């Protein structure tokens, strides 16, 4: 059986698992009601302002070093800055969303997830890596790697492909549980270790020699991230998820994207959002649009999300 045939069979199976029209409409009616969501997670909120998080203290010099590492290697890591109570709230939220039949990305409906990324630490990291005035691109996701041997997240890829200005864009990935090597941590290929032109060319082409391939494998870096810390990388950096070793706690994280102030956004990067701790949060309608777009774009990385493509399309058609 050739690759095209296998792909066609897989696409057919996924289409058969998609939500049926009646269930799509039922889920749509629930999704647009703030009271449904706040009833799902007691003590939660959906509003223009989130309660600020009291971050854990650390040496601010580490964020300046992080910005320097982004410029050199294309990636960096931060100390732990989210306190245990904030992590508990977001993990309880994800639990409730998944238990009621939604994909994890719908946790972005709630203020607590937005509060976890609208922090002084993230703002300082953006200043160090992209310069003052960076803005958020409305691309969000929640990653969950089950605690099952062989489970893993996304395969090797770059964010936004090889688009112009990829080094003036930054992905921020925040661990909500410990992302150890055994739990499927992130791996990256540092910019400084790649052959000349590697990040400007199409790395998927078969142009590397065997010796170059071995050298690149030796340059790959695992990035274990304790819960409450963040990783960040430019859009041209090759990165991927490691594999879970088995029983334990699922690896949970969120990812979002930012663009430097002086860069013009692509059509799919609009509308740009303020990303400081004092900037107003998106409305529920806007959050649902971001979630729906994410399902349409990122279901190629997570086949389970394909089930919700009809709901995503319905949410977007409703907002037009």
d(CA 257, CA 140): 7
**If you average pLDDT over every residue of the chain, what do you get?**
89
Confidence (pLDDT) at 215 = 80
Mean pLDDT for the stretch of residues 15-32: 86
pLDDT band at 202; cut points 50, 70, 90? low
* Residues 290-316: tens digit of each pLDDT: 999 999 999 888 988 999 999 999 999
d(CA 95, CA 41): 9
pLDDT band at 214; cut points 50, 70, 90? confident
Confidence (pLDDT) at 138 = 96
107: Cβ contacts below 8 Å, ≥ 6 apart: 90, 93, 94, 97, 113, 142
pLDDT band at 12; cut points 50, 70, 90? very low
pLDDT of 44 higher than 90: yes
* Residues 146-185: tens digit of each pLDDT: 999 999 999 998 897 555 568 899 999 999 999 999 999 9
End-to-end CA distance of the chain: 42
d(CA 117, CA 239): 21
Confidence (pLDDT) at 1 = 52
Confidence (pLDDT) at 13 = 47
Q: Hey, where are the domains in the chain? A: 59-298
pTM: 0.90
Mean pLDDT for the stretch of residues 258-270: 93
Going edge to edge, which strands form the sheet with 251-259?
75-77, 230-234, 169-175, 251-259, 135-145
Confidence (pLDDT) at 196 = 66
pLDDT band at 205; cut points 50, 70, 90? low
pLDDT band at 50; cut points 50, 70, 90? confident
Confidence (pLDDT) at 165 = 65
pLDDT of 3 higher than 80: no
Identify whether the C-beta of residue 208 lies closer than 8 Å to the C-beta of residue 116. no
* Residues 55-107: tens digit of each pLDDT: 999 888 999 999 999 999 999 999 999 999 999 999 999 999 999 999 999 99
pLDDT of 53 higher than 90: yes
Mean pLDDT for the stretch of residues 215-233: 94
Pick the CATH number of 59-298 from 2.60.120.620, 1.10.8.80, 3.20.20.70, 3.40.190.10: 2.60.120.620
């Amino acid at each position: 059986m050739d690759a095209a045939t296998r792909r066609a069979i897989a696409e057919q199976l996924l289409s058969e698992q998609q939500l049926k029209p009646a269930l799509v409409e039922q889920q749509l009616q629930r999704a647009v009601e703030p009271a449904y969501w706040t009833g799902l997670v007691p003590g939660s909120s959906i509003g223009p302002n989130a309660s600020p998080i009291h971050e854990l203290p650390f040496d601010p010099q580490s964020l300046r070093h992080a910005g320097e590492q982004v410029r050199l290697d294309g990636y960096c890591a931060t100390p732990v800055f989210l306190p245990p109570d904030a992590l508990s709230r977001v993990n309880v939220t994800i639990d409730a969303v998944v238990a009621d039949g939604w994909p994890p990305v719908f946790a972005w409906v709630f203020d607590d997830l937005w509060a976890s990324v609208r922090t002084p630490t993230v703002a300082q990291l953006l200043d160090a890596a992209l310069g003052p005035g960076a803005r958020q691109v409305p691309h969000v996701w929640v990653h969950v790697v089950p605690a099952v041997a062989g489970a893993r997240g996304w395969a090797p890829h770059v964010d936004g492909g090889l688009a112009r200005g990829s080094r003036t864009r930054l992905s921020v990935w925040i661990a909500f549980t410990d992302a150890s090597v055994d739990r499927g941590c992130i791996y990256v290929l540092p910019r400084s270790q790649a052959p000349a032109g590697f990040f400007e060319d199409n790395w998927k082409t078969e142009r590397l020699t065997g010796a170059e391939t071995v050298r690149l494998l030796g340059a790959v870096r695992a990035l274990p991230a304790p819960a409450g810390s963040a990783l960040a990388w430019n859009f041209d950096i090759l990165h991927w998820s490691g594999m879970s070793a088995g029983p334990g706690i699922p690896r949970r994280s969120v990812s979002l994207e930012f663009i430097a102030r002086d860069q013009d956004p692509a059509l799919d990067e609009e509308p740009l959002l303020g990303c400081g701790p004092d900037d107003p949060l998106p409305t529920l309608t806007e959050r649902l649009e971001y979630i729906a777009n994410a399902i349409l774009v990122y279901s190629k990385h997570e086949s389970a999300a394909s089930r919700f493509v009809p709901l995503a399309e319905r949410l977007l058609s409703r907002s037009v």
